[in-house]
Structure 1
Amino acid sequence: MDTMIDDSTQGSSPTAPPTVPVKRLRGARRFGRKAVKACRRGWERVIKARNADGAGQTGMHRLIDLHAASVAGDAAIAVALAGTIFFNVPVGEARLQVGLYLLITMAPFALLAPAVGPILDRFRHGRRYALATTMLARAFLAWLIASQLHSWILYPAAFGVLVLSRAYGVARSAAVPRLLPERLTLVEANARGSLAGMIAGAIAGGAAVLLAHFGVEWALRGAAVVFVVGMISALRLPPRADSQRPEALPRMLQFPGHKTSVRLFSTEIWTALVATSALRALYGFLTLYFAFRTREDNLGPPAAVALGAVVGALGLGSLVATVVGTRLKLRHPLRLHVAAALAATLACAGAAATYSLPAAIGLAFITALSSGLCKLGVDAVIAQGADEGYRASAFGRSETLLQLAWVFGGAVGLIPLAGHWGLSLAAICVGAAAVAALRLWTVAQRTPEL
């Protein structure tokens, strides 16, 4: 009987302790609460920075939101197309596909882009709706590419995204001076928007990589959703983002020398554009050149690591340029343009002489830093020197020139040149542009036009 009582007592004993102790659960809850508080504080700081220096009163914060959405959507599309065109095919085929993509998308762009500025000049009294249209159309094209990823529709749809992205950039650049707070300069305002765009682009690019594991089309659909959010931000811009209705509409296409033509670019603007175009071309060259050289040359680490280091240096340089630009007071921006072109020339020459991964990383960082600062400077020069009635045309042509410069440099980067020869060619070309910018700068000093 005693044995039976003992057995029954043992059978009614408490069950085994839980697999997750109560202390760990409490610790996890505390960690969760702290994480939520940290996220909340971080978000409050973002909102505070977004509204700082009067940006919340003039509506500049809405334009920052819009730019973040635009860059994020473009980044997601770029990640999706890169995986389709470049990374999943052999080197030779990838070079051919990238060249084909540049040809099919950029040749029509070179012909149509000069009309973007005059078109937007006609609709600058409805600039908010023009910005919203560029976002909505990109959302539609991103969704279309997702459903037609392996058909001929890919290239014309990608071309449409590119043109709409340029049109957005032109309209946004023309809207910045109208929403500019008194406590911010144009360079600081552009840098603040660029910083928000870079952060949003990095987050969206990482999210697109994760979505691409489930299928590239999901990254494209995510981009479409982001563009729709951007459209809402564009519609929430204040009415002051629009200009007054023009008394006289500009001509769609007007050649220099026409009796009614308008001179959009002064000597100062040309000086800034020559230096910035050379640096944008070098940026495009390095991006595609090392995309293939890291796969064909032995630079030490594996190809993916080497390429990631170079691309990371480009991104870091752009980030530093944006952060510096938010605090930079440019009284003489043309000096910056000439100095940046000369610095990039010396960096190219040094990298050509050594041709190693550290040299390539240093060159990429200097190029991105110089290009980013010069882009902020050229926007400020155009905003100050171009008449408001033709400001969109001036921004449109400058954006077109810089985009085509990037494509030209990227196309040269597709040529299978050995490391020393390729970087030597880059040093010669950028050096020639630096000399030309220096010459234009001296002319501008003799006959100031701004």
Structure 2
Amino acid sequence: MANGWGRARKTVGEASRLIGRSAAGAGRATVRAGRGTGRATVRAGRGAANGTQWVGRATRRLTYAQGAGRTGLGQLIELTAAQSAGDALVTAALAGTLFKLPVNEARGQVALYLLITMIPFVVVAPFVGPVLDRFRSGRRFVMAGTLFGRGLLCFAMAAAIIPGDVFTIFPGALAVLVLSKAYSVSRAAIMPNVLPADIALVTANARVALFALVTAGVAVPIGAGASAWLGAEWVLRGATVVFLFQGVLAVRLPRHVDSPDLDLEEEGGERPPRWRTMFNVGPVVAEAMQANVAIRLYSGFLLFYLLFLVQDGKLPGLAPAVTIGALAVAAGVGGLAGTAVASWVRTRSPQIIVLSTLALSAVTTVVAAVVFTLWTAVAVALVASFAQGLGKLALDAIVQREIGEEVRSSTFGVVEAFLQIAWVIGGLAGLWLSLFAGGSAGLAVMAAALGGSLGWLLLRRRRRSDARDARVEAARAAGPRAGSDAGTAPDDRPAAPRERPWPDPPGTTTAVVRRDDPPAEKRTKPLTNPHG
């Protein structure tokens, strides 16, 4: 009996020891698994952090390439890209209330929407531009003010979203748009001050626009998803943080972004009336503006004309939603392609670029009017967006090169206003023609308008060239003394300012330049940029 109990106890003890060893082994395995999981998690976190750092370093290499980090252009690119993301968040948050395009509603409501979009530009042209010109010595703070102002407006609109206070949301949204355009005008005006010696103006403008498009394209789906999940008020609060942080960074831009006030009395001249200088911009800028006005009118026409053709069933081939998606994708690809091409054509003349985009638009529209199908409509949407993006970048470069510091912001304000008015007029024309004209007829009208604009601009350019050649021949025939006098009063334009030795000392500025044949871009570097 005792032996039986002993054997039983021994068996139980061995079983207990086996269970204990198994439990210990399982515990050690669990610990090892936990350590492995923890190390894997840490490695994954480090990998994500390394990936983020790699993307950040790659982005910084792109924005600071070719001396852009030394002159401040890289910082300006990053600042503009971030504020573009903030604007995209605001658009995504308000898409369901204010800025949703009412395609399926009455044409009268769409026309009202178009007219409302003109309000901020009517404010920018006569008021914001001259104010920015008067504060050239504090442009960093002006840009920071536009960012801080948008941040505070977003905070106020976020508080008004839940109660549905339209009287706060609607004026706030228009004010955000005004400040956004004021930032764009100021940014375009300071571009020559941060331009490196190895980058042309068109390329620099394209680099800024490219990063702004990419960040906006990333921010829009994020903002739309967050708005659907958390609510529009939280997206606006996020935009508030973005704008306030970027306002701080705007103040930290290099000091040579600011331009000293121009004292014309020291130059022996008088300051011309501002309104006269704003509109008398010379033939080169005027030609580029007129070509871009035609392209922008064409773009606005196509947007609303094609949308209502799809709504009315006059553009068959695919389902309406798919057709609209194809047109939208084509427009997006065209805008991105225009920016990419602008960064590639580094040594081309911006005047030739502008006229080439107008000619491309006219030829494509003629082909689409003759053979009107869904895919030719997609092609004209792509070409219109391409021409609008590339032509506007070339126009910016021309204004930055040809217009002096004293009225550059005002000129950009006038340019933005004219382009927006042209877009609205084109959109209204598209609404009207979509009532009774089919696809071919409407595109034929626009082809005639584009072809007429191109022919008129080429004819004026030829006349200016002939007049210049005649003056040169007359000067040569009259001799050196008469030739020097003859060159001081060309046709109906004021005499150009005296030529200065290159480079001028830092801190000086150029006057408004009006000439038919400007020198190369690298000879018109801003005199306020010590790094150029």
User: TM-score category by the smaller chain?
Assistant: 0.7 to 0.9
Corresponding residue for residue 477 of structure 2:
none
Corresponding residue for residue 447 of structure 2:
427
Identify the range of structure 1 (385-394 vs 418-427) with the bigger mean alpha-carbon deviation.
Answer: 418-427
Which letter does structure 2 place at the counterpart of 1:124? Answer: R
Q: Could you tell me how far apart the structure 1 residues matched to 2:294 and 2:334 are?
A: 17
Q: Could you tell me how far apart the structure 1 residues matched to 2:428 and 2:244 are?
A: 33
SS of 1:265's equivalent in the other structure is coil
Is 1:311 the equivalent of 2:311?
no
Which letter does structure 2 place at the counterpart of 1:115? Answer: F
Is 1:325 the equivalent of 2:342?
yes
SS of 2:118's equivalent in the other structure is helix
Is 1:270 the equivalent of 2:290?
no
8 Å Cα contact 1:272-1:437 kept in structure 2 = no
- How do 1:96-175 and structure 2 match up within 5 A? 96-107=108-119, 109-110=121-122, 113-149=125-161, 150=164, 151-175=166-190
Q: Could you tell me how far apart the structure 2 residues matched to 1:33 and 1:354 are?
A: 56
Identify the range of structure 1 (312-321 vs 429-438) with the bigger mean alpha-carbon deviation.
Answer: 429-438
TM-superposed deviation, 1:54: 0.8
Q: Could you tell me how far apart the structure 2 residues matched to 1:311 and 1:51 are?
A: 32
Would the alpha carbon gap of residues 381 and 348 (structure 1) be closer, same or farther in structure 2, given more than 3 Å must change? same
Which letter does structure 2 place at the counterpart of 1:81? Answer: L
Corresponding residue for residue 80 of structure 2:
67
TM-superposed deviation, 1:384: 1.5
8 Å Cα contact 2:342-2:393 kept in structure 1 = yes
Identify the range of structure 1 (205-214 vs 195-204) with the bigger mean alpha-carbon deviation.
Answer: 205-214
SS of 2:249's equivalent in the other structure is helix
Q: C-alpha offsets along residues 241-267 of structure 1, whole Å, 9 cap, x if unaligned?
A: 01102326978962x4xxxx5664111
Identify the range of structure 1 (295-304 vs 198-207) with the bigger mean alpha-carbon deviation.
Answer: 295-304
TM-superposed deviation, 1:440: 3.2
Which letter does structure 2 place at the counterpart of 1:187? Answer: V
Corresponding residue for residue 279 of structure 1:
295
8 Å Cα contact 2:125-2:410 kept in structure 1 = no
8 Å Cα contact 1:146-1:220 kept in structure 2 = yes
Unmatched tracts of structure 1, length 5 or more: none
Q: Could you tell me how far apart the structure 2 residues matched to 1:183 and 1:325 are?
A: 15
Larger gyration radius, structure 1 or structure 2: 2
Q: Equivalent of 1:350, from 351, 364, 367?
A: 367
Q: Equivalent of 1:381, from 398, 402, 416?
A: 398
Q: Could you tell me how far apart the structure 1 residues matched to 2:232 and 2:258 are?
A: 37
Corresponding residue for residue 411 of structure 2:
394
Which letter does structure 2 place at the counterpart of 1:404? Answer: I
Q: Could you tell me how far apart the structure 1 residues matched to 2:112 and 2:77 are?
A: 34
SS of 2:95's equivalent in the other structure is helix
Is 1:337 the equivalent of 2:354?
yes
Is 1:442 the equivalent of 2:462?
yes
TM-superposed deviation, 1:277: 1.6
Q: Equivalent of 1:227, from 235, 243, 249?
A: 243
Would the alpha carbon gap of residues 245 and 321 (structure 1) be closer, same or farther in structure 2, given more than 3 Å must change? same
Which letter does structure 2 place at the counterpart of 1:168? Answer: Y
- How do 1:32-43 and structure 2 match up within 5 A? 33-43=46-56
Is 1:49 the equivalent of 2:62?
yes
Would the alpha carbon gap of residues 250 and 199 (structure 1) be closer, same or farther in structure 2, given more than 3 Å must change? farther
Would the alpha carbon gap of residues 89 and 311 (structure 1) be closer, same or farther in structure 2, given more than 3 Å must change? closer
TM-superposed deviation, 1:38: 3.4
SS of 1:184's equivalent in the other structure is coil
TM-superposed deviation, 1:354: 3.8
8 Å Cα contact 1:138-1:227 kept in structure 2 = yes
RMSD over aligned Cα atoms: 3.3
8 Å Cα contact 1:281-1:409 kept in structure 2 = yes
Unmatched tracts of structure 2, length 5 or more: 1-7, 265-269, 469-515, 519-532
Is 1:407 the equivalent of 2:424?
yes
Identify the range of structure 1 (174-183 vs 417-426) with the bigger mean alpha-carbon deviation.
Answer: 417-426
Would the alpha carbon gap of residues 81 and 264 (structure 1) be closer, same or farther in structure 2, given more than 3 Å must change? farther
Q: Could you tell me how far apart the structure 2 residues matched to 1:83 and 1:347 are?
A: 35
Q: C-alpha offsets along residues 329-362 of structure 1, whole Å, 9 cap, x if unaligned?
A: 2443222222211211222233334443322221
SS of 2:156's equivalent in the other structure is helix
Q: Could you tell me how far apart the structure 2 residues matched to 1:406 and 1:441 are?
A: 25
TM-score normalised by the chain length of structure 2: 0.73
Q: Equivalent of 1:183, from 198, 214, 217?
A: 198
Which letter does structure 2 place at the counterpart of 1:215? Answer: G
TM-superposed deviation, 1:380: 1.3
Would the alpha carbon gap of residues 398 and 355 (structure 1) be closer, same or farther in structure 2, given more than 3 Å must change? same
8 Å Cα contact 2:146-2:179 kept in structure 1 = yes
- How do 1:359-378 and structure 2 match up within 5 A? 359-378=376-395
TM-superposed deviation, 1:140: 2.2
Identify the range of structure 1 (55-64 vs 296-305) with the bigger mean alpha-carbon deviation.
Answer: 296-305
SS of 1:201's equivalent in the other structure is helix
Would the alpha carbon gap of residues 165 and 263 (structure 1) be closer, same or farther in structure 2, given more than 3 Å must change? same
8 Å Cα contact 1:122-1:250 kept in structure 2 = no
Q: Identity of aligned pairs, percent?
A: 35
Would the alpha carbon gap of residues 34 and 290 (structure 1) be closer, same or farther in structure 2, given more than 3 Å must change? farther
Corresponding residue for residue 238 of structure 1:
254
Q: C-alpha offsets along residues 19-67 of structure 1, whole Å, 9 cap, x if unaligned?
A: xx99999877766654543333222111111111111111111111221
Corresponding residue for residue 203 of structure 1:
218
SS of 2:260's equivalent in the other structure is coil
Would the alpha carbon gap of residues 110 and 262 (structure 1) be closer, same or farther in structure 2, given more than 3 Å must change? closer
TM-superposed deviation, 1:302: 3.6
Which letter does structure 2 place at the counterpart of 1:428? Answer: A
